Chain A
Amino acid sequence: MAQRLKQAAVFVGVILVALGVSVGTTAQAQVRGVTDTEVTLGVILDYTGPYKSAGVLITEAFNAYWKAVNDAGGVHGRKVKIIYEDNGASPKMGLTAANKLVYKDGVFGILGSIGSAATVVLFDLVEKEKVPMLPIAYPRKMYDPVKRYVFMASAPYAIQAARAIDYIFDDKKDLNAKVGIIYQDDDFGEDARNGALEAMKAWGKTPAAQEAFPRGTTDFRSAVLNMKRADVDYIIIGAAVREAAGIVREAKLTRFKGQIMGIDPSLGPPLFSLAKEAAEGYLGASSFATLGEDVPAWGNLKAALQKYEKKTFNFYHVFGLANSVVYHEGLKRAGRNLTPDTLVAALESLRDFDSGGVLPPVTFTATKRYASKAAKIVRADVKTQDFIAVAPYQVPKAMR
């Protein structure tokens, strides 16, 4: 009996010591995540869920960018350390990851968080603990109302879709065009659809047809045939690249004669490999530089990717680059006295900031947390496997 009690006491003791160790790791610095020589940032990406391929590529971009920054002396003498966590695109994994980053690792801010639901769930924590963050999720509703510590390094999907509509009625002056919308029935697709509807309303138009499809759909025949039946001249797609390629392919098979237009998530290189020659002429509204554009930010990232990661450049690196450029500028402007509030003030001071060409001119205000309201129109060119700008950055009529 005595021996068993002793064993039990040792067992309980071990548990308590283990817990004590974990409690000990939550010690706070004066400003969380900031020392004289280092700033610690967290990144929450998807490495095990539906966005895992994007997660891997965005990680490469973050690594390359900040290694280059650190090799150049860091920011105000502080090296930037990044801790990566997986959210599997799940809200509960995202929340535990953020809790770990903030309370255990003591990060200063969050450089990126992917997935809408997995990011929205962090907002209360971010606001309560003052964790400046830049999500990699662009539905407009996420940023309305404004959260003090949340900024978006892009234009929302709604604005991109609205720019596509403006391209039809403003740039092309095709005022009699009939427009249909095919969208994924999740927050991302709905945001694009809502933007398109808002823009059409601003032009006094209504869509000729609308088709929703669930995420993971591979057969778009009925959706495209319904568009043909409604005799539309333009199809606006609120979908990512795999689904957009499916729609484009189906449109070619069914001899749809109109123009198909998408938004940023549909503009990656997989469009060419999946849709082949059917991708030719596909138009997209984009708030990022395209792969082939000769902009300084691209050149720097390409060199850093080659030097630090031994990787070649990929379109999905753009999301890591855009967040990095904006956060970097915020850190620079916040100065040596870095606190969450000086960083917010620094980001709010950005007025038409030149991001090295990766984004349209960036402006944040106290009431607007997305980098820009502008998008440009690009065209898929199968020969060069790239997207070529055909209309400049412009703020859609409905959003002016």
Chain B
Amino acid sequence: MGRTFHSSYAEEMALFQSDWARAWMAIFLALLLGVPALLGPYLLSVLNLAGVAVIGAIGLNLLIGTTGQISLGHVAFIACGGYTTAILAERFGLPFWLLIPASGCVAALIGLVVGVPSLRLEGFYLAMATLAAAFIIEYVYAHWESLTAGTTGMKVARPTLAGAPLESSLAFFYFQLPWVIGATLFAKNLTRTKVGRAWVAIRDRDISAETLGIDLTHYKLVAFIVSAFYGGVAGSLYVYYLKTVSPEHFTFALMIEYIAMLIVGGVGSILGSIFGAVFITLLPEALRLVTDLLRDDYPVLSFRFLYVKQGIYGLIIILFLLFKPDGCFGWWQDVKRYWQTWPYKHS
């Protein structure tokens, strides 16, 4: 049975709090390293996109879920990161180890500017302000033709490692994995620091937080900067993987997807961000699978399913909102609690 109490601060602060947790994490990492080698390029391409989504969703969750700052501008940060990588890679041939952090930094800088309205606005008004900022940013990259090639878009070469381009989906998976793990661990630790606790205090009641001495201006802007940095890194990896960039890569539909990831995964949870990102990325593929299963025996039904599958997508989100508002993370917590008290039932 896992430990349910702590006898020292070190134990309480440990990232993985029991031998069981550490063992499961080791098994998970081993699977993460071993299983992809057995997968075909199709499933790997889905996993690669899920990896990008994990980083982007964690960034958005830090802002919305942890700090309580509603943002509809995250896709603009992802675009900033993507375009930074594309422009600097194609014009100056800079290496990925410089470009990925640089893309995060450029997005963070934009995040700082976009975050300024958060000092005076909140809730619906902040959502509208961030959405407006996203439209302005979109206008810039869609029309600054000399820099971004406008609506035509740009080609981006895959990153190279030891002189060899990471062309295969498998190579890209192993290239991307450390960034995903690093982003997850950093976010997990960040939420346990003074900054993270200040964010939670702001989310729960900003006036009380200010009364306690938390500098709202500072911490809200830091939240925007960190969130945008994550978006920038996600955008960089996204563009590296797709090998192209254009305004059509960063539509409002993508923003909705990220919001859906938070709702389905669990708002305010790093693990929930991962669940949500993986779920939302896999969902269209699962729907493709259903279409395939129906195709030979029920071709008409298969076509109908092809057309209505977006409705199913929406329905799943509504069902989560109604019946599982804490998302997949809530289920995870339920399962954890069940095992912690097993064989006794908990209430």
Contacts and interface: CB of A to CB of B under 8 A. Distances in A.
A117 B246 contact: yes
Nearest to A26: B40
B153 A187 contact: yes
B313 to A, nearest CB: 8
Interface string B327-343: 00000000000010010
Interface residues of B, number: 44
Nearest to B169: A99
Interface residues of A, number: 50
B248 A115 contact: yes
B38 A20 contact: yes
Interface stretch (A88-96, A149-157, A201-209, A314-322): A88-96
A30 interface: no
A47 B312 CA distance: 13
A168 to B, nearest CB: 26
B256 to A, nearest CB: 12
A121 interface: yes
Contact of A23 (B31, B38, B247, B339): B38
Contacts of A311: none
Interface stretch (A79-87, A275-283, A363-371): A79-87
Contacts of B244: 91, 117, 120-121
B151 A187 contact: yes
B306 A47 contact: yes
Contact of B248 (A25, A105, A117): A117
A339 interface: no
Contacts of B285: 96, 100
A103 B41 contact: yes
Interface string B222-250: 00000000000000001000111011110
A350 to B, nearest CB: 28
B38 A19 contact: yes
A52 B311 CA distance: 13
Contact of B40 (A104, A117, A121): A104
Contacts of A128: 167
B302 to A, nearest CB: 9
Contacts of B313: 48
Interface stretch (B10-18, B43-51, B68-76): B43-51
Contacts of A97: 288
Contacts of A141: 152
B144 interface: no
B305 to A, nearest CB: 10
Interface in B291-321: 292, 295, 303, 306-307, 309-310, 313
22 contacts: A4-B339, A20-B38, A47-B307, A48-B310, A52-B307, A88-B284, A89-B248, A91-B248, A91-B249, A96-B45, A96-B46, A99-B45, A104-B40, A117-B244, A121-B243, A141-B152, A185-B143, A185-B151, A186-B247, A187-B151, A189-B151, A190-B150
Interface of B: 27, 31, 35, 38-43, 45-46, 49, 142-143, 150-153, 167, 169, 238, 242-244, 246-249, 251, 253-254, 284-285, 288, 292, 295, 303, 306-307, 309-310, 313, 339, 342
